[in-house]
C-alpha cells in the first residue's frame, strides 16, 4: 500500500460508535490494490486504531464492493477482483480446560497448560472464561496461542492478597481460529520459564462503569470525559482535581485512567467499613463496668452532638445501646475555633490492658523515602471508623448524650489501643508492599518511586490492595504524583526533607508566652524540629527551666533572646538530605559549657571520571543536649570527648554502625 505525504487536517477528532473519540493527526491519499485492481481513498491518520486500516462506506460505494459472507470474500466491480474476508472460524468454539490443579500465590502470575481437543493449530484466538475471572478474582488476558499436542499456554494473574486455587478440568476459556488482531499477545511455551508478565492492553483498557473496551488509552480517556461520565460528575471532578497539576498530557491521561479504575476509593456516599474480621481493642479482664452520667452542655453544643450522632448512625458507625458501660461526650475547640465531638474514655482506658504494637518511628519512615523522585499520599477517610469492632467489646464503647445511650460498631477514637490496632491492621493490609513501595503511619499512606513509570505501577498496586479491603480515601487530603508532599510534619522532596510550611507558620505566629505553660508549649513545638536547628540545646537553654513543674514564670532578656533565635532558626530551615546507607557518613562534634552538639553529614554522589572532584558533605541531622549537673565540672577536653562519645554511642549509632569517620 503506497501513499503520498501526510498533510495536516482541520478536523482534530472524530466520534466513534462506542461513544468514544479518536484523535486525528492528518490526512493522506492511499493507493489500495486488490489483485490487479488499483483504487484510491482519502484516509484520516490516527494512532488510536486497533487494526491497521478501516475502509469506509465511501470506498465501498465508489468501487462497487460486495461482501459475500457465504463465500467469505470481498468482491470489487462486480467480481473483477476479490480477496478473503477472514479465515474460516470453527463452527462452534472449542473449550480449553486446565490440565492440572494450580495454586497462584498473592500478587503472582502463573503460566499454565490448557487442554483442547485439537492436535495442532497456529494462531488460535483464546477468549477467557468471564465467569471464572469473577468467581476466582483472577485476570486472564485474551491471547493468540499456538496449539501443540492438544495443549496451549495461557497466563493467569492473581492481583489479590490471597492465594487462588483452580482445580483440574476447570474451563479456562474458548479457542477459535482467526486472523491476528494487532493488540493480541502471542504466548509461546518459552514463556513458561519467565517471571515477568505484562497484561495486554485489551484486558485492561475497559471502562469500569459501562464495561466498554478500548484499544488505546486515549480512546478510553476520551470516553470517560465525553460519554460515560454523564452521571458521574462528582467522580470526574474529584479525579480531575487530583491530576490537574500534571503538565504532561500523556502522563496525565495515564494517571486519570488509573484513578478512574479505582474510583470507588473516593466514594463519599456512605462509610461502609472494610472487609476484615472485627478487631479487638478493649481487654478489661474481669473488671466491672464503669459508667459516668452525661455532662451538661449548651444549646449550641447539643446541636453539634445531635448532628454528629445522626451522621454516625447514617454511616452505621454507632447503634443504640443498653450497655452497663458509659462515657460522657465532651465538645472541644479545634485550632480554627470550630467544635470537635469527643468522648472521654479516660476511666475506661485506666482499666484496659495496653496493646504494645509499635507505631513506626517518624525519622525511620522519612529516611526510607531516600532515592525517590515522585510521591503520592493517600489519606484514609475517618480511618478508625472504617474498622469493624468485635461484637463483645461494643458495649464497652457506649457513650451518653442528652438524648440517649449509643455504642460503636467500629473502632472509636480516644481508646488507648486504637492507634496500635489500626497500625497493625494497616501493616497486615499492605503486606509485602510496606517499606518496599509504600509506608503507612496510621491513616496516612505514602507511595514512593524513582520514576513516573514505576510510580504508576506502585500506586496501582496500593490502590488495588486498599480497594479489595473496601477502604475509602479522603480525596481532599490525597496527593498523587507530586515531586514534593507534606508527610508527618515534614515537606519531602527528592533533595531531602524540611519542616512543613504550615507548622512553621504556626510557630512564627506563636504569641509571646505569658506563663510557664505557654513557654513549655512553645518549646515542645520547636523541639519537634530540633534536628534542623544547629546548637538547639544551647539556644533553648534559658527556656528549659519552664519544663519543670512549679517553676515561677520570670521572662528576662535571656528568655526573649532564646525565643527570638529559635523562631529565626526556623524562618529559613536547612534542608536535610535523606540518609543513604551506601554512602560514607561523617560526624562533626562541638562542646561548650552549656551543652554538647553534633552534626551527621554524608558525602554526595560524584562523577567517577572526575579526578578533581572535592567531596561535598550535606547534613542528615543535627543533635544537641544540655549538660547534666556533674558534666558541668568537666574540663574542655573532657567535654569534647563527651560530645564524641554521646554522638557515636547514642544519638547516631543506628546510622554509623559499620562505618565511622570523625572530623572537627
pLDDT score of 501 more than 90? no
Q: How confident is the model at residue 21 (pLDDT cuts 50, 70, 90)?
A: low
Both 152 and 129 in one domain: the answer is yes
Both 347 and 438 in one domain: the answer is yes
* Structure-block grid coordinates of residue 624: 544537641
Asked, for residue 209, whether it belongs to a domain, the answer is no
Contact yes or no for 271/317 (Cβ under 8 A): yes
* Structure-block grid coordinates of residue 417: 489501643
Asked, for residue 234, whether it belongs to a domain, the answer is no
Q: What rounded mean pLDDT belongs to the chain?
A: 81
Asked, for residue 250, whether it belongs to a domain, the answer is no
- Identify the pLDDT of residue 150: 86
Which CATH number goes with the domain that contains 525? 3.30.70
Asked, for residue 273, whether it belongs to a domain, the answer is no
The domain containing residue 396 runs over which residues? 299-494
Asked, for residue 387, whether it belongs to a domain, the answer is yes
Give me the helices (H) in 282-417, please: 299-314, 346-350, 362-367
Determine the average pLDDT of the residues in 90-114. 80
Contact yes or no for 106/163 (Cβ under 8 A): yes
Both 485 and 396 in one domain: the answer is yes
- Identify the pLDDT of residue 195: 33
Q: Is residue 620 left, alpha or beta, with left meaning phi > 0 and alpha meaning psi from -120 to 50?
A: alpha
> Cα–Cα distance between 65 and 77 in angstroms, integer?
6
| Residue entry with cell 466514594 | 267
Give the pairing type, strands 444-449 and 374-379.
antiparallel
Asked, for residue 25, whether it belongs to a domain, the answer is yes
Which CATH number goes with the domain that contains 365? 3.30.70.270
pLDDT score of 145 more than 90? no
- Identify the pLDDT of residue 297: 84
Which residues are within 8 A (CB) of 440 and not within 5 positions of it... i.e. 6 or more apart?
A: 360, 423, 426, 427, 430, 434
Write the pLDDT tens digit of every residue in 152-209: 888 888 887 777 888 888 899 888 765 433 333 333 333 333 333 333 333 345 565 5
In the listed set 63, 84, 105, which residue is the last one of a domain according to the structure? Answer: 84
* pTM for the whole structure: 0.62
Both 118 and 188 in one domain: the answer is yes
Which CATH number goes with the domain that contains 128? 2.70.40.10
Both 489 and 506 in one domain: the answer is no
Asked, for residue 332, whether it belongs to a domain, the answer is yes
Both 11 and 62 in one domain: the answer is yes
The 3-state DSSP class for residue 243 equals: helix
502 sits in which H/E element = helix 501-508
Spatial CA neighbour of 352 closest among 403, 280, 411, 410:
280
Both 519 and 442 in one domain: the answer is no
Which CATH number goes with the domain that contains 646? 3.10.20.370
Asked, for residue 274, whether it belongs to a domain, the answer is no
In the listed set 177, 199, 221, which residue is the last one of a domain according to the structure? Answer: 199
Both 132 and 75 in one domain: the answer is no
- Residue 662 has φ and ψ, to the nearest 5°, of -115, 150
> Cα–Cα distance between 450 and 375 in angstroms, integer?
9
Both 457 and 408 in one domain: the answer is yes
Point out the least confidently predicted range of 177-181, 314-318, 419-423, 424-428.
Answer: 177-181
Both 361 and 330 in one domain: the answer is yes
Q: Please state the length of the chain.
A: 664
Count structural domains, the chain: 5
Amino acid at each position: 500500500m503506497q501513499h503520498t505525504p501526510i498533510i495536516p487536517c482541520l478536523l482534530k477528532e472524530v466520534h466513534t460508535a462506542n461513544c468514544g473519540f479518536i484523535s486525528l493527526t492528518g490526512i493522506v491519499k492511499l493507493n489500495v490494490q486488490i489483485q490487479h485492481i488499483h483504487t484510491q481513498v482519502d484516509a484520516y491518520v490516527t494512532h488510536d486504531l486497533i487494526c491497521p486500516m478501516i475502509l469506509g462506506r465511501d470506498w465501498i460505494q465508489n468501487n462497487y464492493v460486495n461482501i459475500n459472507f457465504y463465500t467469505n470474500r470481498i468482491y470489487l466491480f462486480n467480481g473483477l477482483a476479490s480477496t478473503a474476508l477472514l479465515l474460516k472460524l470453527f463452527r462452534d468454539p472449542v473449550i480449553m480446560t486446565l490440565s492440572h490443579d494450580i495454586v497462584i500465590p498473592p500478587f503472582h502470575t502463573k503460566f499454565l497448560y490448557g487442554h483442547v481437543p485439537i492436535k495442532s493449530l497456529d494462531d488460535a484466538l483464546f477468549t477467557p472464561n468471564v465467569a471464572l475471572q469473577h468467581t476466582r478474582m483472577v485476570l486472564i488476558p485474551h491471547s493468540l496461542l499456538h496449539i501443540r499436542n492438544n495443549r496451549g499456554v495461557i497466563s493467569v494473574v492473581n492481583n489479590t492478597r490471597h492465594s487462588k486455587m483452580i482445580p483440574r478440568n476447570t474451563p479456562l476459556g474458548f479457542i477459535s481460529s482467526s486472523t491476528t488482531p494487532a493488540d493480541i499477545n502471542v504466548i509461546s511455551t518459552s514463556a513458561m520459564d519467565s517471571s515477568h508478565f505484562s497484561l495486554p492492553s485489551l484486558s485492561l483498557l475497559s471502562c469500569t462503569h459501562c464495561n466498554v473496551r478500548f484499544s488505546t488509552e486515549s480512546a478510553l480517556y476520551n470516553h470517560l470525559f465525553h460519554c460515560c461520565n454523564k452521571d458521574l460528575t462528582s467522580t470526574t471532578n474529584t479525579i480531575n482535581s487530583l491530576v490537574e497539576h500534571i503538565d504532561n498530557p500523556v502522563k496525565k491521561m495515564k494517571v486519570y485512567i488509573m484513578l478512574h479504575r479505582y474510583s470507588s476509593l473516593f466514594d463519599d456516599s456512605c462509610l461502609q467499613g472494610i472487609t476484615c474480621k472485627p478487631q479487638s481493642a478493649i481487654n478489661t479482664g474481669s473488671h466491672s463496668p464503669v459508667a459516668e452520667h452525661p455532662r451538661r452542655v449548651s444549646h449550641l453544643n447539643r446541636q453539634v452532638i445531635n448532628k454528629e450522632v445522626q451522621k454516625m448512625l447514617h454511616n452505621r458507625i454507632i447503634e443504640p445501646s443498653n450497655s452497663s458501660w458509659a462515657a460522657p461526650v465532651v465538645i472541644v475547640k479545634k485550632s480554627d475555633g470550630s467544635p470537635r465531638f469527643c468522648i472521654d474514655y479516660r476511666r475506661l482506658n485506666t482499666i484496659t490492658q495496653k496493646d504494645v504494637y509499635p507505631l513506626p518511628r517518624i525519622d525511620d519512615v522519612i529516611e526510607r523515602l531516600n532515592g525517590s523522585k515522585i510521591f503520592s499520599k493517600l489519606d484514609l477517610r475517618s480511618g478508625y471508623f472504617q474498622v469493624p469492632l468485635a461484637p463483645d467489646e461494643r458495649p464497652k464503647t457506649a457513650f451518653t448524650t442528652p438524648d440517649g445511650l449509643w455504642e460503636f460498631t467500629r473502632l472509636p477514637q480516644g481508646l488507648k489501643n486504637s492507634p496500635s490496632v489500626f497500625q497493625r491492621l494497616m501493616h497486615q493490609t499492605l503486606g509485602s508492599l510496606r517499606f518496599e513501595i509504600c509506608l503507612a503511619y496510621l491513616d496516612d499512606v505514602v507511595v514512593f518511586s524513582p520514576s513516573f513509570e514505576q510510580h504508576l505501577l506502585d500506586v496501582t498496586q496500593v490502590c488495588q490492595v486498599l480497594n479489595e479491603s473496601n477502604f475509602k480515601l479522603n480525596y481532599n487530603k490525597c496527593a498523587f504524583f507530586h515531586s514534593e508532599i507534606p508527610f508527618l510534619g515534614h515537606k519531602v522532596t527528592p533533595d531531602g526533607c524540611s519542616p512543613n510550611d504550615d507548622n512553621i507558620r504556626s510557630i512564627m505566629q506563636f504569641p509571646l508566652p505569658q506563663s510557664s505553660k505557654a513557654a513549655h508549649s512553645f518549646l515542645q513545638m520547636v523541639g519537634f524540629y530540633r534536628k534542623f536547628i544547629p546548637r538547639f540545646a544551647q539556644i533553648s537553654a534559658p527556656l528549659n527551666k519552664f519544663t519543670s513543674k512549679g517553676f515561677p514564670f520570670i521572662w528576662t532578656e535571656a528568655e526573649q533572646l532564646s525565643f527570638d533565635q529559635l523562631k529565626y532558626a526556623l524562618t529559613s530551615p536547612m534542608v536535610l538530605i535523606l540518609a543513604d546507607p551506601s554512602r560514607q557518613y561523617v560526624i562533626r562534634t562541638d562542646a561548650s559549657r552549656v551543652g554538647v552538639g553534633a552534626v551527621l553529614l554524608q558525602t554526595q554522589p560524584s562523577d567517577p571520571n572526575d579526578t578533581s572532584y572535592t567531596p561535598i558533605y550535606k547534613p542528615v541531622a543535627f543533635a544537641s543536649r544540655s549538660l547534666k549537673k556533674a558534666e558541668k565540672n568537666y574540663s574542655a577536653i573532657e567535654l569534647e570527648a563527651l560530645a564524641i562519645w554521646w554522638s557515636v554511642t547514642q544519638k547516631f549509632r543506628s546510622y554509623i554502625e559499620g562505618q565511622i569517620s570523625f572530623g572537627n
